[in-house]
Amino acid sequence: MTGAERRPRPLDGIRVLDIATFIAAPFCGAIMAEFGADVVKVEQPGMGDPLRGWGTESECGDSLVWLSEARNKKSITLDLRTPEGVALFRRLVEKADVVLENFRPGTLERWGIGYEALRQINPGLVMLRVSAYGQTGPYREKPGYARIAHAFSGLAYLAREPDRTPVIPGSTSLADYTSGLYGAIGVLMALRVKDRTGAGQVIDLGLYEPIFRMMDELVPSFGKSGFVREPMGADTVNIVPHSHYLTRDGRWVAIACSSDKMFERLCVAMSKPELGRDPRYATMRQRDLRRSEVNGIVSAWTGGLTAAEVLERCETAEMACGLLYNIKDIFDDPQYAARGNIQRMDQTRAGAFAAPAVVPKLSDTPGRLDHLGPELGSHNAEIYREWLGLGDEEIARLKALKVI
């Protein structure tokens, strides 16, 4: 064990049962596992989490996204639809601190393992419940995935050029990942309360809610004046120029001009300092009234230069500008390398592997990526022995009955 592997992590000693599927609640578990929690993935015998077969298949049979997003977890199999499986799960819950789930509301209650039932055997249990619309409200039983959450939250409506088809806002799983992040925040706060009081609680999260929470002034603007924001493509409401611009060599650059001072710097970069003093453009309000005209000036400038030239001139003028990266650009970039944002692993069950590194970086108790997503049921013997004290014969019997 290396020195780095011996360093303590913030969540050492926390036990988590992850009975969820795909990404949303499981991403919370991945974050916790990176920072030391003992996260046990509970999967259906013979099948496993559907994420194992989602996306590009690797050499070992599991998908690349499974290998990356089930990182540091342990896998056991257990059929929660059987009485004996439920009994085993209840025993596991006695030893756990956290349960992560994302079934439709009411499903766990029908199986006899809803929160109220589980807190009777473990009053300190913290449960994260992620569902399409949350545990309450008229839509609580409706199914939904991240794409539906993007639509319901208002994000997908805005992710397009005017009068064009709405597009995917970067990742089809954005709502899943943000729900995992908010779920992790909720679990950690609940564990903090448990430290003080000994009592657990439920974190109830609708898949659309984290995206909705991040929609800047959309809510207060409509609440104040009834303003309905319409799609603006790459532009930003109230801020000009603040968009994407094409260069002579066919690359796109992002220019963020979020203040009048920044506009003055952009004008210097464009060798047109007089525009920064021109009353038609000097204030954000005036630029917003002439949005097309201002964007046209900037587009004409970037279109006459290569991307490298635009970046150089903006940097000299201390103007915020960046190239729109594809994944090859990211792999080649020295900043990503310096920060260690891509972790390369040589000895994995999928051969050489690159994965997003752990964030955030903690100075004294950092997280780490110990291993990729595990094989189905590969930790059955370890968990059932260490947590429940089951012997080899009992584990073999349960396997033969397909309970595990």
Q: Compute the average pLDDT of residues 317-336.
A: 97
CA atoms within 13 A on the CB side of 43: 27
Catalogue all structural domains in the chain, each as residue range(s) with its CATH number. Answer: 3-213+340-400 (3.40.50.10540), 242-329 (3.30.1540.10)
- Quick one: pLDDT at residue 274? 96
User: For 232-281, what is each residue's pLDDT tens digit?
Assistant: 999 999 999 999 999 999 999 999 999 999 999 999 999 999 999 999 99
**Lowest mean pLDDT across 1-10, 77-86, 350-359, 377-386:** 1-10
- Quick one: pLDDT at residue 5? 66
% the chain with pLDDT above 70? 99
- Position 4 confidence tier, pLDDT thresholds 50, 70, 90: low
Residues 6+ positions from 307 with CB-CB distance below 8 Å: 247, 249, 251, 253, 323
Q: Rounded distance, CA 21 to CA 41, Å?
A: 9
Q: Residue type for 271, please?
A: S
CA atoms within 13 A on the CB side of 38: 14
Q: Rounded distance, CA 377 to CA 89, Å?
A: 15
User: For 54-87, what is each residue's pLDDT tens digit?
Assistant: 999 999 999 999 999 999 999 999 999 999 999 9
Q: Residue type for 125, please?
A: L
* Given the residues 18, 97, 176, 235, the one annotated as active site: 176
Q: Rounded distance, CA 12 to CA 6, Å?
A: 11
Edge-to-edge strands, sheet with 202-206: 74-77, 38-43, 15-18, 98-101, 126-131, 202-206
Query: CB of 128 within 8 A of CB of 186?
Result: yes
176 is catalytic: yes
E runs forming strands in 140-298: 202-206, 242-246, 252-256
- Quick one: pLDDT at residue 3? 57
Q: Compute the average pLDDT of residues 131-139.
A: 97
